């Protein structure tokens, strides 16, 4: 009888753990990644284990672009891939299946949040109230446009008074057909609320 109760409690705890882990992964995706990445995470959260070609059709993404996003997410530690014999072809071909290893993903997020919190605490001690600015190209790895408020003020669009990405500005200053300035206008980012929510979820996962 006691063994049955323990087993039931363990299963409930595991269910709670999965729910909190899913919420944490979803929250982090929305806080720190672009829309296509969020869509991929949502599909994996819902369907758990998906063939690469099925994901491409479901997300309406070309295979090459999907693989780029998936490799990026694997490098980030949020997803894993497994090659298995494809039964649809009689096992004659190997097919990639993508999934989220919640245990690994939570550990990665915990480490990154810890490092971020350490950096935030250090930054607050050095200069309270400092802001962070990102270039739209930073999310797609088109540039390294991440700046403090002081750094962001180095290049300004005098017509509208907006801060511009230094790297993108230098790349396009002599370009006869440059992209619109909006594509490298810096945006003020404040992830403090999302970070606090992620920390709260990490505490829930750790306590189970």
Q: In this predicted structure, what is the pLDDT of residue 135?
A: 92
Report all structural domains of the chain as residue ranges with CATH numbers, in order of start.
2-105 (1.10.10.10), 132-189 (no CATH)
- DSSP designation for 91: T
Span 152-178, mean pLDDT?
Answer: 84
Q: In this predicted structure, what is the pLDDT of residue 198?
A: 64
pLDDT at 39 over 80: yes
Beta pairing, strands 80-85 & 162-163: unpaired
**What string of DSSP letters covers 154-196?**
TSEETTTTEEB-HHHHHHHTT-SSPPPGGGGB-EEE--HHHHH
pTM above threshold 0.75: no
- The answer to which of 48-52, 114-118, 129-133 has the lowest mean pLDDT is 129-133
Highest mean pLDDT among 13-27, 86-100, 176-190: 176-190
pLDDT at 94 over 60: yes
Confidence of residue 32 (pLDDT cuts 50, 70, 90): confident
């Amino acid at each position: 009888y006691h063994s049955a109760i323990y087993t039931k409690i363990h299963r409930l705890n595991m269910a709670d753990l999965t729910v909190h882990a899913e919420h944490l992964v979803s929250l982090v995706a929305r806080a720190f990644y672009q829309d296509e990445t969020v869509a991929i995470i949502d599909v994996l959260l819902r369907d758990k284990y998906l063939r690469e070609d099925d994901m491409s059709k479901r997300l309406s993404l070309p295979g090459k672009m999907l693989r780029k996003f998936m490799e990026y997410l694997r490098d980030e530690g949020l997803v894993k891939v497994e090659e298995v014999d494809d039964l649809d072809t009689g096992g004659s071909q190997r097919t990639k299946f993508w999934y989220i290893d919640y245990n690994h993903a939570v550990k990665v997020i915990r480490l990154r949040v810890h490092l971020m919190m350490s950096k935030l605490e250090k930054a607050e001690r050095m200069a309270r109230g400092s802001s962070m600015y990102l270039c739209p190209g930073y999310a797609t790895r088109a540039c390294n446009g991440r700046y403090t408020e002081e750094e962001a003020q180095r290049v300004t669009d005098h017509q509208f008074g907006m801060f511009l990405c230094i790297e993108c500005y230098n790349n396009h200053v002599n370009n006869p057909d440059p992209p619109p300035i909006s594509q490298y206008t810096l945006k003020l980012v404040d992830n403090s609320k999302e970070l606090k929510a992620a920390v709260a979820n990490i505490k829930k996962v750790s306590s189970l």
